Amino acid sequence: MRLHLLALLAKEPAHGYELKQALEQTFGSAYPSPNIGQIYVTLGRLEKDGLVRAVDVEQSNRPNKKVYYLTAKGRELLTVWVDEPTEGPRVRDEFFMKLVLAPLTGIADRMALISRQRRHYLGLMSDLNDLLSRTPPTDRVAILLIEGAMLHLQADLDWLERCQEDLA
Amino acid sequence: MTSVVKTVNLVKIYQDGAVPVPAVRGVDLQVEPGEFVAVMGPSGSGKSTLVHMLGGLDTRTSGEIWLDGKRVDTLSESAWALLRRKRIGFVFQFFNLVANMTVGDNVELPALLAGASPKVARERRESLLAALNLTDRAEAAPAQLSGGEQQRVALARALANQPSLLLADEPTGNLDSRNTRDVLRLLGKVHKEGQTIVMVTHDARVASLADRVVSLFDGEIVDDGRIARRRTGTAGEVIDLR
């Protein structure tokens, strides 16, 4: 979450609760609602690393609030993050390891593993379908995220089929 | 309860010159009324051959096929044609619409052929075209439609005679994601209303609507089971952002 918070702070200084709200507004139902405690812990670490700095803002009738802003070092790190290519979603696939190694143990055969995994993926796809139908069309970010997850799943299923052709 | 589909030790062997090529090797499949079965498997596993045989578009080499409790693998070509008209809807990857009829008439015709009154056929046509967002295309010729629209028309046509069995072979093979969404919605709806469906598909979104997945490999059923669903959560819980 470190870089997500830095990105939000690059737009404008904010306090912890505002950052939580900004994440919720931007990602809608696509993002697990961030825990405020986690946000403060992360901000504390960013401050310690010199990536953000905090100022106390006095408020009448209430305790001071801490407003965070981005430092030059923070902006630099953010730029690096934005500029560098992002790793693909997975380098190692747990199921593939299982598929290759499990038959050696005599515990399971590949055909059974593939069949179970196919049904599992389809169950996940069904959840995503359901989710998509419940997501308002105005929530574009959430819809794109769900569609992205669906395309990944489709690729996993296609790959499963390739594994079946060549290994089973 | 009579199964909509039942096959007993169904076999199809193609003859490639002197070499017999088994495409389907002893399939026992039973589909109950209202079930939605997705047939999956690598290419060459016999999926298309199986559904083509179920629709009488390909003859079996041996074994039995029963539809609605009636043995059909022994029927003549013309008896099959009659059966298809009344009881089976078929959607292919390539849509096979009648080119010199309007979209609306393409959808209405099967209902009329199956014996529906003109009034019922017209109502059926209108509700199907509306469900697939095609109402304003009713008077167009098929060739004026995009591939996605033609595929939706093909699905509407297949459902027009309210078949007891809908067979489909890669019905979303040519569709982009928006068109797929309309097709998914209609399939989900007719399934909920009790339509029995057997569908070959690689598209996981379509397959995930099914109650049951049958996996073929090398012409045999290697898996046959239900899709487990959780039906809970928000996107944030289902999708893990890292």
pLDDT of residue A54: 93
Residue B213 in contact with partner chain A when CB distance is under 8 A: yes
End-to-end Cα spacing for chain A:
41
Closest by Cβ to B239, choosing from A126, A145, A164? A145
Q: Rounded mean pLDDT of chain A?
A: 88
Q: Which of B151, B133, B137 is nearest to B102 (CA)?
A: B137
Predicted confidence (pLDDT) at residue A92 exceeds the cutoff of 70: no
Beta-bridged to residue B64, according to DSSP, are B8
Structure tokens at B60: 């079996």
Predicted confidence (pLDDT) at residue A168 exceeds the cutoff of 80: no
Count Cβ–Cβ pairs < 8 Å, chain A vs chain B: 105
Residue B42 in contact with partner chain A when CB distance is under 8 A: yes
Contact B213 A146 (CB under 8 A): no
pLDDT (tens digit, 9 = 90+) per residue, A113-146?
999 999 999 999 999 988 888 888 888 888 888 8
Pick from B180, B209, B227, B230 the residue to mutate for testing the A interface (most A CBs within 10 Å): B227
Residue B228 in contact with partner chain A when CB distance is under 8 A: yes
pLDDT of residue B132: 83
Pick from B177, B214, B238 the residue to mutate for testing the A interface (most A CBs within 10 Å): B238
> For a pLDDT cut of 70, what percent of chain A falls above it?
96
pLDDT of residue A53: 96
pLDDT of residue B236: 59
Residues of chain B with pLDDT under 70: 95, 174, 231-242
What distance in Å separates the CA atoms of residue B91 and residue B87, rounded to the nearest whole number? 14
pLDDT (tens digit, 9 = 90+) per residue, A65-86?
899 999 999 999 999 999 998 8
Q: Which residues of A touch B184 (CB under 8 A)?
A: 129
Closest by Cβ to B227, choosing from A119, A146, A164? A119
Residue B211 in contact with partner chain A when CB distance is under 8 A: no
pLDDT of residue A64: 85
For residue A41, report the phi and psi dihedrals to the nearest 5 degrees.
-60, -45
- Integer angstrom CA distances of residue B86 from A107, B123, B158, B225: 50, 18, 11, 30
Widest CA span in chain B: 60
- Integer angstrom CA distances of residue A125 from A92, B35, B174, B192, B202: 21, 19, 20, 18, 13
Nearest-10 crossing angle of helices B147-159, B118-131: 140
Whose tokens are 């979303």? That residue is B172
> For a pLDDT cut of 90, what percent of chain A falls above it?
50
* Entry pTM: 0.83
Q: Collapse the DSSP code of B119 into the 3-class scheme (helix H, G, I; strand E, B; otherwise coil) and give the result.
A: helix
Q: Rounded mean pLDDT of chain B?
A: 89
Q: Which of B193, B74, B234 is nearest to A136 (CA)?
A: B234
Q: Cβ–Cβ contacts within 10 Å for residue B1, how many?
A: 7
| Arithmetic mean of pLDDT, A18-42 | 86
